């Protein structure tokens, strides 16, 4: 919540915080170690008190054995209450009253060998903010997921008596504005009544929120962060290498003929392609050049696909960068034998991608837009 700077109002100490008494004991003024803090908005302010333990420890160290036990004993004694803590306005007078019995006072004085003094005191509330400056977002928990332009938003109120509705929660882009409506959860209550219960200013129930700071799904190869591309290639290399082994799951998926002719001599990354989706997402392909010589010289091109690649690596871990599971069904036929990969990349160079798109994940809905770059 947006709050004003805490206003420290400490009553004026009567004499020094610690002074010698006539009988040789030193006097400790407990009022000197009480802080009154006020924050919030004019007419809706809150107040609380706390013990200035740092200065109390410094003061006691110069007088008595300031062991943790002695400090805790004195802090436990310093109990009190404010006569008002809510619905405060600038200029209000607060009274702090101590709750210390005579027996408690005598016990602590005997234990520490000091005389303690204290009395009720007053403080004036200052510095509360103008209610017109109340920031509605301070009572909301707003979370965005995904990337532009397919992001989603989730909004909840921090108070259980308030309910939140969003006019649009999916398919969001950076710069887009959504309307958040805040209403009482109980139908027989007004928003003003709920605000009064939580001691916050009444506000307009419609709050405008602008989507900002989200990463974008990449549309070009150059938008892929170098750190992300490095992980993609590392994982792709492992898949391609695994496909050469006899226990390759990918080979089993493709049938006996392909399994017998998966033994390419070498492989290397040839190019990277980004295919745009209608919903604003994209598929990134790491395209490999495979060389075979088992039944004559043959070069094919095999793609490993990745979904949901963003133009930022912030907060990403390697486990977040995952290949799709469609890759094993890309084949070329030569002399009635099946080989991994396509026989050429002509479709990328001449702008027709029908064959490639046919093997992409079923959920992929292409726009026909793509970016292609040799590696």
Contact between 49 and 122 (Cβ < 8 Å): no
Nearest C-alpha neighbor of 164 from the set 144, 178, 182: 182
DSSP labels, 173-193: -TT-EEEEEEEESSTTS-HHH
SS3 206: strand
Which residues, 6 or more positions from 107, have their beta carbon under 8 angstroms from its beta carbon?
none
Contact between 331 and 338 (Cβ < 8 Å): yes
Which H/E stretch holds residue 27? strand 26-29
pTM for the whole structure: 0.63
SS3 271: strand
Per-residue pLDDT of 107-118, as tens digits, reads 989 888 889 999
Nearest C-alpha neighbor of 201 from the set 130, 125, 140: 130
The pLDDT score that the predictor gives to residue 21 is 43
Per-residue pLDDT of 73-87, as tens digits, reads 888 889 999 999 999
First and final CA of the chain: distance in angstroms? 49
Nearest C-alpha neighbor of 50 from the set 38, 35, 40: 35
Q: How confident is the model at residue 1 (pLDDT cuts 50, 70, 90)?
A: very low
Per-residue pLDDT of 215-264, as tens digits, reads 999 999 999 999 999 999 999 998 888 877 756 555 555 555 555 666 78
Other C-beta atoms within 10 Å of 361: how many?
11
Other C-beta atoms within 10 Å of 5: how many?
9
Residue 138 has pLDDT above 80, yes or no: yes
Q: How far apart are CA 40 and CA 185, in angstroms?
A: 24
The pLDDT score that the predictor gives to residue 233 is 96
SS3 216: strand
Per-residue pLDDT of 27-75, as tens digits, reads 899 999 999 999 989 999 999 999 998 888 888 877 776 677 777 888 8
Q: How far apart are CA 107 and CA 353, in angstroms?
A: 88
Residue pointed to by tokens 């479709």: 347
Q: How far apart are CA 297 and CA 371, in angstroms?
A: 30
Residue 180 has pLDDT above 90, yes or no: yes
The pLDDT score that the predictor gives to residue 62 is 78
Looking at residue 17, the DSSP 8-state letter turns out to be: S
The pLDDT score that the predictor gives to residue 356 is 62
Write the CA distances from 155 to 163, 202, 212, integer angstroms. Answer: 10, 19, 15
Which H/E stretch holds residue 338? strand 337-340
Q: What is the mean pLDDT of residues 187-212?
A: 93
């Amino acid at each position: 919540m947006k709050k004003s700077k805490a206003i420290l109002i400490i009553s004026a100490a009567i004499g020094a915080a610690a002074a010698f008494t006539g009988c040789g004991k030193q006097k400790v003024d407990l009022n000197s170690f009480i802080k009154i803090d006020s924050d919030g908005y004019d007419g809706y302010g809150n107040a609380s008190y706390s013990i200035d333990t740092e200065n109390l420890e410094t003061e006691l160290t110069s007088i008595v054995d300031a062991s943790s036990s002695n400090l805790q004993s004195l802090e436990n004694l310093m109990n009190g209450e404010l006569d008002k803590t809510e619905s405060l306005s600038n200029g209000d007078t607060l009274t702090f009253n101590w709750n210390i019995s005579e027996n408690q006072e005598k016990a602590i004085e005997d234990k520490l060998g000091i005389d303690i003094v204290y009395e009720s005191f007053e403080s004036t509330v200052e510095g509360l903010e103008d209610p017109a400056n109340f920031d509605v977002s301070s009572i909301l928990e707003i979370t965005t997921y995904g990337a532009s332009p397919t992001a989603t938003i989730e909004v909840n109120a921090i108070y259980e008596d308030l309910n939140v509705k969003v006019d649009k929660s999916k398919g969001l882009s950076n710069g887009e504005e959504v309307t958040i409506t805040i209403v009482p959860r109980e139908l027989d209550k007004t928003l003003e009544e709920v605000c009064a219960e939580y001691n916050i200013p009444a506000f307009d129930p419609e709050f405008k929120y602008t989507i900002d700071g989200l990463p974008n799904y990449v549309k070009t190869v150059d938008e892929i962060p170098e750190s992300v591309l490095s992980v993609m290639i590392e994982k792709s290399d492992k898949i391609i290498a695994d496909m050469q082994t006899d226990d390759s799951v990918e080979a089993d998926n493709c049938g006996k003929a392909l399994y017998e002719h998966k033994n390419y001599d070498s492989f290397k990354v040839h190019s990277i392609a980004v295919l745009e989706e209608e919903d604003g997402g994209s598929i990134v392909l790491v395209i490999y050049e495979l060389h075979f010589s088992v039944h004559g010289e043959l070069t094919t091109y095999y793609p490993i696909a990745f979904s949901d690649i963003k133009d930022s690596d912030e907060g990403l871990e390697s486990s977040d960068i995952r290949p799709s599971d469609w890759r094993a069904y890309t084949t070329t036929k030569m002399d009635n034998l099946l080989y991994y990969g396509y026989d050429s990349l002509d479709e990328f160079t001449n702008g027709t991608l029908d064959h490639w798109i046919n093997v992409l994940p079923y959920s992929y809905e292409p726009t026909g837009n793509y970016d292609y770059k040799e590696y």
